[in-house]
Every structure is written in C-alpha cells, then in structure tokens.
Chain A
Amino acid sequence: MQKDIIDALEQLTSKDIDYILKYKPRAKGAQSAQHFSNMTIIKPIALNVYPEIYVDLIKRFEHDEAVRHLKSMGLRVAKYYYSTFPEKLRKSQKFTEIFSEVAKTHLKSKLVFKDKIKENNKLRSCTIEIQDCFFCSEIALFENLEIPYCTPVAGLYEGLYNIKSLFNRNLEPRLIQVIAHKSAESDGDICEYKLVVID
C-alpha cells in the first residue's frame, strides 16, 4: 500500500519536473509571468470564479473523486509556480520555509507548523495551521463542508515540496502528502491541514 502511494507520487512528480524543464511559454509578446510577480488584483474579482467551480466539482463527483480533482488543481499550480520561478527549485531552504515563502509572498497567508511527531529525530507528521487562507478569508463561506473549501491549497503545498525534493534529490523527507482537514468557518478562523511523511 505504502509502496503504491510512493510510486504514484513519484510518477506524478516526475511528470511535473519534466514539464518544468521543458517549459516555454506560448505567448511570447505577453511578457513573462515573472514580470507580473508584483502585480495584484482585488480579491472580490480574483476569487469570483472559484466558488462555482468548487460547488460544480463536489456535485459532479463522489467524495473521493471530488477531493482528487480539487487537490490536483493545487498540484498543477505548484508546477506552474516552479515553471515561472525556476530559481526557487534550486534555492536552499529549510523544510518549513519551502511552504512559508510561497504562503507569505504570493498567498498572503501565515502558516504555523504544530503537533510535530518525530521518530528517531525524523519528522513523521505535523499539522499546518493557516491564517488568512487564499481561498477562505473574507469570503462568504459555505456551511457544513464535507470537503474543505481550500483543498487545492493542500495540493499546492504537497506539490511545492515533492517537486523540489525529487528535483534536488537531497531533501529529507523525500516525499510528503498534505491532506486538507478543515477550512476556516468564520472570519478570523484558521484552516488546518495534515502533513504526513510518506518516504
């Protein structure tokens, strides 16, 4: 079972690395995506797309399949991020910094790593608490969500780490999984993800 998960993650991540290495943007005259790294857009307009997509996917698919689709959106965003900022792939960073830098710079969120469980001084799992989530903060939230609203963010963090790890081949742990546990239910509330070391 564990080996199947590792194989699947490796396969998926290797495809992403391949994409990043071959990446050439199609619209040459549009300027590079990096050129727009300081550009912002007001949140009400930026996020008016996602609520309908979330609702459509959870109506269209069974629970696990809907989670897979939502998470894969985030995994793909991690791939686009490294394609746009390839220097971040090689940048030497501490474990938590890999997540925190993107959270702070691009998502305007704060991450807190809690409940770390270690074996032989090696991380096995932890909880990530997110303040000011990209998707959840300042949004009229749905109630009684079976699937956390910000599940794509779990995919994003998982992809950010695994792509970097398999690209550099020297990170410890080697592969992780991030599972969205809970989305913020009111203003000021936090979102919560579980990070599990797979390999």
Chain B
Amino acid sequence: MGELGRFRKMVGGLGKRVYNWRETKESMNFLSFMYETILEEYAGIFNGDYEKAMDTLINLVAPMSAEVVSKLLFEIKVLGVPFKSLITKDINDLPYIVETTLYAVFGSWSKKVFKKPVLIPASESDQQVNTIYIELTQCPFCCNTIIEPEELGAHKYGKLLTLTIEQMVQAVEDYAGNDYKVVARELKCFLNDDFKGEIYLWLYPRDNLELMETNEYIRAIK
C-alpha cells in the first residue's frame, strides 16, 4: 500500500533520527511554559478574554509557522537525501509522512506522545473525505496549565500544535500536487477531562469545499 517502498521508508527512518539528533533542541517544559505565559499575557491585555487572546496569538503566529514548516519539509537534507523525496501523491503514504515528521520534531518522545497516525478513507469517514486521525496518549502542552477549558471559548488548548500539523500536511499535499484544503481540529483534549487527545485532519477536495459546511466540528471548534 502506498508508493513508498521499503528502501525509501528505511532512508526516512534513518533520516528522521539523524535530523533530530543534529538539530538544536529546546526543553519541552519551557516551550509549554512559554506557550501558557504568552496566552496569559494576551488574556491580560484583553481583560481576561482567553478566546480573544488565542485568536490573536493564532493570527500572529500562523504565517510564520507556515513558513517554518515549509522550510523544514522542503529545504532539509539528511545524509544528502532531501526530506521532500519521501513525499508522494498517494494518500496512503500520508500517515507515514506525518509520523516521520513528528519524529523529526520531537525525537523518540513522539512515539510516547502520539500513536501511529491512521488514514480513514473517504468511504469510511463520517465527513466523507479522506481523514488522518492522530491520537495523543499524553500531552506535554496542557499538562501544566490551570486554565479552565471553558475560558478558551471555542478553542482547545492544543490549537498551536493542531495548526502546526495542519500546515505541515497542507504543505505536503500542495507539494504532492493533490488539490486538497486541509482542515485540522482537536476534538479531544486532556484539559477537557478526555482520557486521550484526538486530532482529526480532513482533506477536502478543493472542488467540493461545500462538504466543509456539513462538518459540525469545524463549526463548533475554532
């Protein structure tokens, strides 16, 4: 299944480890502290409105994040092999590409935090489009916060992670030449007392974007 053969997957497996090992890394604890403090700072600026704070944060960060994600995917070469050589047009390869990228970003911890991404084909998806499902068994983002989930309004706490993964998959699909609009939402979050985290990525064909209107999660969650 998929266009990626064993050899390219083996190169990808080696490449993600070498890349993560060579790249400068930062403490995940301090990143989650920074994330919370930025959210608190903006909530303070907007008189305690966390939803508006999150809106502002996302508006500020999204363009830069897309640029960084594209750079990561398309400019990086490991052992002379460009990461983009792992990208194929075949949707069946997408879970592997997402898994490999998560490893490149988080190292071996990615296996502890995320279960293997799963492709739900359009024929089996509630939303009638190809869907990537990512389950989190633990969460380094919301683990330290005391912000009540209700305060975030229509947002979930892991919005920034969801946005980064959404941009990553959008960049992959654009490069592969698939005409999809990728939309991601975090449906379950530990902060909301769920027993796992869940991120869904729906791949809407651009010639059938009206399908998005029937997706209640896109309407309910920002």
Contact = CB atoms under 8 A, between A and B. Distances in A.
B143 A41 contact: no
B142 interface: yes
Contact of A39 (B38, B106, B160): B106
Given A27-B142, A42-B25, A33 B32 contact: yes
Interface residues of A, number: 50
B31 A41 contact: yes
A84 B142 contact: no
Contact of A30 (B24, B57, B68, B191): B191
A49 B194 CA distance: 27
Give chain B's interface residue range (CB within 8 Å of chain A). Answer: 35 or more
A38 to B, nearest CB: 8
Interface string A27-63: 1111111011101111111111111110011001000
A86 interface: no
A107 B60 CA distance: 24
B71 interface: yes
B92 interface: no
Contacts of A69: 41, 45
Contact of A24 (B109, B146, B195, B196): B146
A138 interface: yes
B60 A56 contact: yes
Most buried by B among A31, A45, A46, A80: A45
Contacts of A166: none
A27 B143 contact: yes
B107 A30 contact: no
A183 interface: no
Interface string A73-112: 1101100110110000000000000000000011110000
Contact of A106 (B20, B27, B64): B27
B26 interface: yes
Contacts of A74: 37
Interface of B: 20, 23-38, 40-41, 45, 56-57, 60-61, 64-65, 68-69, 71-72, 104-107, 109, 138-140, 142-149, 157, 160, 164, 189-191, 193-197
Interface of A: 23-33, 35-37, 39-53, 56-57, 60, 69, 72-74, 76-77, 80-81, 83-84, 105-108, 134, 137-138, 152
5 contacts: A26-B148, A30-B197, A40-B26, A53-B61, A84-B144
Given A33-B29, A107-B27, 16 more contacts: A27-B143, A29-B193, A30-B139, A31-B143, A40-B27, A40-B28, A44-B71, A48-B65, A49-B65, A50-B34, A53-B60, A69-B41, A73-B37, A76-B37, A77-B37, A106-B30
